[in-house]
């Protein structure tokens, strides 16, 4: 596609429910990142996928968070047993092969846990 | 730990009133410094990459500069459409090319 596509754009869920957020990166971009942006905070790194390598999960805040990337393309971020502190904008970004190319971000999914 | 601090947090400018945004950073070896623009409800939009001290890049009314400790984003004769949050990020040497972001500079340009 022309850009990074994320769905849904908005999600309201009840505390304790599981949610899945989807990211469709730019075709040909081998690197994919998930970040979280909370109100008044900078973007927080969550997880990184590069080709067929094992993902870097070092930014995931708890074991309730997981992500997968199927076929080197679409990625899904899953949050189990959501808590109110999970409310944030979840941003996905992809990057073409090449070390110093700026990421291209999607528009994000705004998650509200009530 | 890599750190990025942006100041001021918020800035109101009259149209045509030039100003500068500051991004101070500490990083264990800088691979690159990035500036992004973010509009409400949108993802960050890439503006510039700077690689080494002394480097400058320009785009329309924006000019980014880099020293060994900080970067400036100069906005010359701003227009209302320059209103946005400007994000600074650093990419350290090695690792997985993740970026460490500051909290942003929120700029409002008043007609």
d(CA A61, CA A52): 23
d(CA A98, CA A30): 10
Contacts of A42 in chain B (CB under 8 A): 4, 87, 100-104
Going by their DSSP bridges, the two strands B105-110 and B45-50 should be labelled as unpaired
What tokens appear for A29 in the block? 């971009």
Contacts of A69 in chain B (CB under 8 A): none
Least Cα separation, residue A79 to chain B (angstroms): 21
Res. A97: pLDDT tops 80:
no
Q: How many beta-carbon contacts under 8 Å exist across A and B? A: 58
Q: What pLDDT, in 10s, does the model give residues A16-55?
A: 999 999 999 998 888 999 999 998 788 999 999 988 888 9
Q: In this complex, do B49 and A100 lie within 8 Å of one another by their Cβ atoms?
A: yes
Element (H, E) at A92: strand A88-95
First to last CA, chain A: 33
Q: What pLDDT, in 10s, does the model give residues B70-106?
A: 999 999 999 999 999 999 999 988 777 788 999 999 9
Residues sharing a CB contact under 8 Å with residue B79, sequence separation 6 or more, in sequence order: B15, B61, B109
């Amino acid at each position: 596609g022309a850009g990074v596509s994320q769905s849904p754009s908005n999600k309201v869920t009840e505390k304790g429910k599981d949610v899945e957020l989807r990211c469709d990166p730019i075709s040909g971009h081998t690197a994919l990142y998930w970040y979280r942006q909370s109100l008044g905070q900078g973007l927080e790194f969550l997880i990184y996928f590069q080709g067929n390598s094992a993902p870097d999960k070092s930014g995931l805040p708890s074991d309730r968070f997981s992500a997968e990337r199927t076929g080197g393309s679409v990625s899904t971020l899953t949050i189990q047993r959501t808590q109110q502190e999970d409310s944030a904008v979840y941003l996905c970004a992809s990057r073409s092969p090449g070390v110093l190319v700026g990421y291209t971000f999607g528009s994000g999914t705004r998650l509200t846990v009530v | 730990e890599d750190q990025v601090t942006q100041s001021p947090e918020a800035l109101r400018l009259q149209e045509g009133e030039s100003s500068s945004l500051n991004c101070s950073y500490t990083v264990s070896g800088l691979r690159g410094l990035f500036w992004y623009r973010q509009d409400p409800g949108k993802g960050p939009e890439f503006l510039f990459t700077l690689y080494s001290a002394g480097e400058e890049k320009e785009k329309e009314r924006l000019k980014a500069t880099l020293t060994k400790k900080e970067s400036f984003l100069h906005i010359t004769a701003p227009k209302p459409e320059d209103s946005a949050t400007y994000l600074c990020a650093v990419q350290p040497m090695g690792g997985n090319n993740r970026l460490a972001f500051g909290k942003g500079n929120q700029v409002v340009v008043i007609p």
